[in-house]
Structure 1
Amino acid sequence: MTLNTQFLTMFTMVAMGVYIGAAYYTFKRIEKWWADGIIRRYLLEFLFWIVQAFVFFYVLYQVNEGILRFYIFLAVFCGYAMFKALLEQAYSKGLELAIRIISHILRMVYAIIHWVLIKPITLLFTFIVVCLSWLYQLFFRLFSFIFRILFYPFILLWNYVKRFMPKMEKNYLYQFFRLFSKIKKKK
């Protein structure tokens, strides 16, 4: 390994230490949004470190063909310490600003989707339901009116025949009608 490759490796590993510090800080900042259970939290932590190990070894492979030496770990540790000591406060402010901007954009997108897609669909659905209900009532009243008109002669005939019926038959028919009305009310 040449001297240029070693310096490039050292510089890259210090940058990887800074990256790991920033990634871990970001992970811890947004972890509370989705990791509410302890098992889920440990699982996400494990997956985070697996991804970071893959990123670390990919960068190491690109820089010096994956040769792992002790000073590489020291360079990563120095980069992480540099992030904690010098860059964490500035990164924290930038991250909070980015989170506020992203949350504001997401709220705007949600509001746009709500007012452009969801609200018109619900209003259209409500309009259709109201129109169908109105048509149902109109057809029911129309059918009831037509039914009354068609059966009006039969009702007149029944009232005329009822006058000439004996009292016993009327009592029997009244009991029948009472039973029929009870059945009708139960439905």
Structure 2
Amino acid sequence: MSLNIQLYTMLAMVSMGSGLGASLDTYRYFVNRSKSRPWFVFVNDVLFWMVQALLIFYVLFLVNEGELRLYAFLALFCGFAAYQSLFQSLYLKVLTFTVSSVLSLYRGVLTLSNIFLVKPIRFFIHILVVVALGIYQAVHKLLVFCLKLIYVPTRWVLFVFWRMMPKPVKRFLHMGFRYIEGIYNRAKNMIMRIVAWVNTLKNKGDD
């Protein structure tokens, strides 16, 4: 391995050590270990360290085709220590500011969308419902009024015709109404028996 490759390897591992420190602080910032379930923390820890190991090996593979030397681990540790002593406090401030800014922007977008989108749609739907109810009530009152106008004269006309009809015709119509009523009752009873029979077969099938 040439000196250039060794130098590139050390610089890459120092950078990856610093990146590992930043990634670890970011992971700790978003994962609340005290309020999370142990299995959830365990799974996230395993995934985090697997991803970090794969990234480090990938960078090492790009620099020196994946050759592991002792100085690579030392450079990785030096980069991590440099981050802890020099950049950690600054990075945490930047991370906190960035997360707070993103959350504030998100809340602002939600507030604006609620003011300019959700509330107008709700108001429009409310107006449509009020108008629809008003039309329904107006049409209902109009229909009731028209039915009353038709029903009252028709009732008197039928009453007059009934009084003017001969008794045999009344008797015939009365018998016809009874006959129709009997047919209706028989059909109703038959339908009820069929429904009861179907329910009995269904219950037996379920048993």
Please report the TM-score for the alignment, with normalisation by the length of structure 1. Answer: 0.75
Q: Does 1:111 align with 2:106?
A: no
Partner of 1:134: 134
Residue 74 of structure 2 is matched in structure 1 by 74
Measure, in 2, the Cα distance between the counterparts of 1:32 and 1:144: 67
Q: Deviations over 1:80-106 (max 9, x none)?
A: 122122221111111111111111111
Shift of 1:151: 0.9
Alignment of 1:138-149 (within 5 A): 138-149=138-149
**Correspondence for 2:62:** 62
Tell me if 1:8 matches 2:8.
Answer: yes
1:23-80 CA-to-partner distances (Å, cap 9, x unmatched) read: 11011101239x8433223222222222222221121111111111222112111211
- Two-structure CA RMSD over aligned residues (Å): 2.5
Aligned to 1:178: none
Q: In structure 1, how many angstroms separate the alpha carbons of the residues matched to 2:112 and 2:61?
A: 45
Aligned length: 160
Deviation at 1:14, TM superposition (A): 0.9
Confirm or deny that 1:88 pairs with 2:88.
yes
Provide the rounded CA distance (Å) in 1 between the counterparts of 2:38 and 2:142.
65
Q: Distance in 1 between matches of 2:51 and 2:12?
A: 18
The answer for the alignment partner of 2:31 in structure 1 is: 31
With over 3 angstroms needed to count, the CA separation of the structure-2 counterparts of 1:119 and 1:36, relative to structure 1, is farther
Distance, in Å, in 1 between the alignment partners of 2:121 and 2:41 is 38
Instruction: Give the structure 2 partner of residue 152 of structure 1.
Output: 152
Who wins on radius of gyration, i.e. which is larger?
2
Query: What SS class does the counterpart of residue 68 from structure 1 fall into?
Result: coil
User: What TM-score results when the alignment is normalised by the length of structure 2?
Assistant: 0.68
The offset of 1:157, in angstroms, is 6.5
Taking a change above 3 Å as real, the CA distance of residues 40 and 124 of structure 1, as seen in their structure-2 partners, is farther
What are the ranges of 5 or more consecutive residues in structure 2 without an aligned counterpart? 161-207
Tell me: CA distance 1:83–1:126, structure 2 relative to 1, closer, same or farther (3 Å). same
Q: CA–CA distance in 1 between the matches of 2:131 and 2:15?
A: 66
1:121 paired with 2:121, answer yes
Cα deviation 1:89-142 (Å, max 9, x = unaligned): 111111111111111111122223323332232222222222222221121111
* Structure 1 counterpart of 2:51: 51
Moved more, 140-149 or 114-123: 114-123
1:158 to partner: Cα distance: 8.6
Unmatched tracts of structure 1, length 5 or more: 161-187
Amino-acid identity (%): 34
